[in-house]
Amino acid sequence: MNCILLPAANFSLANALIDAPEQIEHINKILGAQVGDTLKIGQLGGHLGTAIIDEMTSEQIQLGNVQLSLAPPPKLEVTVVLALPRPKVLRRLIMDMTALGVRDIVLINSYRTQKSYWQSPLLARLDEFVLEGLQQGVDTIAPRITLQKRFKPFVEDQLASLITNRAIVAHPYSELSLGQYLQQHSAYYSALQPQSSLPSVVCIGAEGGWIDYEIELLAGQGCQAVNIGRRVLRTEAAVNALLGQWLL
């Protein structure tokens, strides 16, 4: 955790209360903080700032002199449409995308998504993973996450409304590379809008990627297939490699 995020209910005037066991353990064992020390904190959905530890017990930490004056960092102007991955990968991906600042995440079914993934208890814990990502990335605004269990209806009826300029679909067998794609749209760059050449939607498959039928449906909605090299990457690597473009 690079900051401690608390819900609005835990704040009262210039005071705040930490009562989540994971946060208390982190403050004690990782930070080694003591009464009088300053912590980086934030209010979920609000601002970031600092507070001073007034009192510590095994069950709660009282904070005083709370000052929340810093706005959270801006979101990346991108929606990630991600084929629901294996449960053990889901936590890491939600954390990473949240820490990177992705604005919207759509978890979607695909041919290579096993039906059992949709019954995973981890889907009920997405808020936990988002909180971990926010505390890692020092942010307070959670991404919007939606679940879409039907691929074709989503692509044909809803995807177009998410595309504000362009869209890409990661596909290792595409002839067009991401670098070539960005060069083609470099004319859109400007000093005031440095991200304007980047697409507003990125579609990323599960392990094994998209099948041809899915690529064709996505292409029908204006998604340009691009590769990020000839290596077939794990989903985590592909997500971070692609989203790195928005951080540059």
Residue 207: the pLDDT is 81
For 11-25, what is each residue's pLDDT tens digit?
998 999 999 999 999
CATH 3.40.1280.10: does it fit domain 76-247? yes
At 114, is the pLDDT very low, low, confident or very high (cuts 50, 70, 90)?
Answer: very high
CATH superfamily to which 4-70 belongs: Hypothetical PUA domain-like; domain 1 (2.40.240.20)
Contacting residues for 159 by C-beta, under 8 A, at least 6 apart = 81, 167, 201, 218, 221, 223
Residue type, 48: L
Question: Residue 187: is its pLDDT beyond 70?
Answer: no
Q: Tell me where in the chain the CATH 3.40.1280.10 domain(s) lie.
A: 76-247
For 159-174, what is each residue's pLDDT tens digit?
999 999 899 999 988 9
pTM above 0.85, yes or no: yes
Distances (CA, A) of 88 to 84, 106, 121, 149, 168: 11, 18, 11, 19, 26
Looking at the chain, the whole-number percentage of residues with pLDDT higher than 70 is 96
Q: Tell me where in the chain the CATH 2.40.240.20 domain(s) lie.
A: 4-70
Residue 5 in contact with residue 131, Cβ under 8 Å?
A: yes
Contacting residues for 175 by C-beta, under 8 A, at least 6 apart = 227
